[in-house]
Amino acid sequence: MDTWEQLAAQIRTCSRCPHLAASRTHVVVGLRPQLLRPVTLIGEAPGAQEDMAGEPFVGRAGQLLDVLLAESGLDRTSVAIVNVLKCRPPGNRVPTRTEVVQCRPWLEAQLEILDPRVIVTLGGTATAWFFGAGRKLSEVRGRVHRIGRFRVVPTYHPSAALRFGPGGLPRAALREDLKMAATVAADESGEDEIEAGLW
């Protein structure tokens, strides 16, 4: 077993949030490609379909994500996909602060192993994980940030892109930001905006 699989095995038995451990069907560990330092997408938490399938982003938001990835020259074989929470919050509510704190070491350990060239945070929960709860997505999106040793591209969640429709700002922004992440990943020497980070 490699280190990712060893970690995955630990995550699958997690019961740090007893209520989530009791209500989940599957722990959704995430996907990583057989690539070194893959672009890594971070979502919020599994929804109903992900909880059933045990895989991230397999529902409607995931289908849109696949389309936008393809338009950006990326696809599921070239990116890792993980979530802030590995278990579905019942009723798809937003994760609580305590749940995020309890689950934090798992995502930290995943990022250690993945060592991504660039991270894309999808939506408010994943963006807050890096930038802190006080920062609004609108303040930070549209550029590459250096947070500790990571380059981070904060953007909208695909469910916002679904909600606002094909002509809405989130879909165009998400497409643009995924392209930016693909470019940064292809050119490691690119100039970044340097920001004081929390990492």
Binding site for ligand URA (CB under 6 A): 43-47, 50, 56-57, 61-62, 83
- Minimum distance from CB of 194 to ligand URA (Å)? 28
- Per-residue H/E/C for the chain: CCHHHHHHHHHHCCCCCHHHHHHCCCCCCCECCCCCCCEEEEECCCCHHHHHHCCCCCCHHHHHHHHHHHHCCCCCCCEEEEECCCCCCHHHCCCCHHHHHHHHHHHHHHHHHHCCCCEEEEHHHHHHHHHCCCCCHHHHCCCCEEECCEEEEEECCHHHHHHHCCCCHHHHHHHHHHHHHHHHHHCCCCCCEECCCCC
The least distance separating ligand URA from the CB of residue 45, rounded to whole angstroms, comes to: 6
User: Cβ 108 to ligand URA, closest distance in Å?
Assistant: 18
Q: Which is nearer to ligand URA, 45 or 80 (CB)?
A: 45
* Nearest CB to ligand URA, comparing residues 23 and 183: 23
Nearer of residues 157 and 175 to ligand URA, judged by Cβ: 157
Residue nearest to ligand URA (CB): 43
CB 148 within 8 A of CB 199: yes
Nearest to ligand URA of 60, 194 (CB atom): 60
Q: How far is the CB of 70 from ligand URA (least distance, A)?
A: 18
What number of residues does the chain have? 199
Residue 50 C-beta: closest distance to ligand URA, Å:
4
Cβ distance to ligand URA smaller for residue 75 or 193: 75
